[in-house]
Amino acid sequence: MIEVKELSVSYTGDKTNTRVLNNINLRLNKGEIVAIIGPSGCGKSTLINCMSGILGSYEGTITIDEESLNPKQHSIGLIPQNYGLLSWKNVYDNATLSLKIKKKNNISQEYKVFIDNILESLSLKPLLKRFPNELSGGQKQRVSIARAFIMKPDLLLMDEPFSALDALTREDTQELFLQLWKSYRPTTMFITHSIEEAVYLGGKIIILSSSPSSIVKIIDNPLFGMRNFKDKNEYLDTTSLIRKIIKEGWK
């Protein structure tokens, strides 16, 4: 279980001190997937940066199974907005980056099969020798997803993972991601500014207010994983509830 308690973050400049996150409390149960939705600039990336260990100066606590978050000890998968691929490494080496420390020729047969399954289910097998500049946005995204799953993370964080993709590629990639997520169920938190994406991929949806942001509402999402619901009343009820909360919280 991941717990964020009384998390507050301020950015200080020469003469400024801007509070971005204000007393965030949230909990992710093991194997849960949570969507965070909030207006632009409210501090969503800041929250993810705290949870991934990139940003260490915050008030409050972040724990994984009751131990203080420690990026050296815990394995945290991060899918950043720009995919985060290393331009000088090919697809296979990017996808298996987390194994570099463990020496690739020492990995077990079982792990090799696992890696192969991930690469196969993301249709990356024909692309393994290519470099990032030879890939489309959707393909880069799939490599980034493969890399995160291959490290078997204690916590998977994704910062607006699908927002740079065109609409059709986005739907395909979301679907591939969801299938993979259902197979391995890493504890996941992702950021989005799309209500549709939050409703499709978020088991729970957490709505943040504008900056300095705090949590406005946590919704148990009855529509998780459902795609063909556009004209169903439940979909309309859920999305209009979210819209209403957003309207009140995003002033």
Ligand X SMILES: Nc1ncnc2c1ncn2[C@@H]1O[C@H](COP(=O)(O)OP(=O)(O)O)[C@@H](O)[C@H]1O
User: In DSSP terms, which residues pair with 188 in a beta bridge?
Assistant: 33, 156
| Contacting ligand X within 187-216 (CB under 6 A) | 211
Q: How far is the CB of 193 from ligand X (least distance, A)?
A: 8
User: Which H helix or E strand runs over 115?
Assistant: helix 109-121
**Nearest partner of 7 among 66, 62, 74, 49, judged by Cα:** 62
* Position 26, amino acid: L
Contact between 82 and ligand X per CB under 6 A: no
Q: How far is the CB of 41 from ligand X (least distance, A)?
A: 4
* CB neighbours of residue 116 within 10 Å: 11
Contact between 41 and ligand X per CB under 6 A: yes
> Which of ligand X, Mg ion, none binds 20 (CB below 5-8 Å, type-dependent)?
ligand X
Q: How far is the CB of 38 from ligand X (least distance, A)?
A: 6
Contact between 45 and Mg ion per CB under 5 A: yes
**What is the maximum span of the chain, computed from C-alpha positions, in angstroms?**
57
> Which of ligand X, Mg ion, none binds 140 (CB below 5-8 Å, type-dependent)?
none
> Which of ligand X, Mg ion, none binds 192 (CB below 5-8 Å, type-dependent)?
none
- Answer for which of 8, 10, 23, 45 binds ligand X (CB under 6 A) is 45
Contact between 161 and ligand X per CB under 6 A: no
- Answer for which of 24, 33, 42, 205 binds ligand X (CB under 6 A) is 42
Q: How far apart are CA 15 and CA 34, in angstroms?
A: 36
Q: How far apart are CA 23 and CA 48, in angstroms?
A: 15
How do beta strands 17-28 and 67-68 pair? unpaired
Give residues with Cβ within 8 angstroms of 66, minimum separation 6: 1, 3
* Position 39, amino acid: P
Between residues 44 and 170, which has the closer beta carbon with respect to Mg ion? 44
Contact between 31 and ligand X per CB under 6 A: no
> Which of Mg ion, ligand X, none binds 41 (CB below 5-8 Å, type-dependent)?
ligand X
Number of residues that bind ligand X (CB under 6 A): 11
Is residue 167 packed enough to be buried (19+ CB in 10 Å), middle (13-18) or exposed (0-12)? exposed
List of residues contacting Mg ion (CB under 5 A): 44-45
List of residues contacting ligand X (CB under 6 A): 11, 20, 38, 40-46, 211
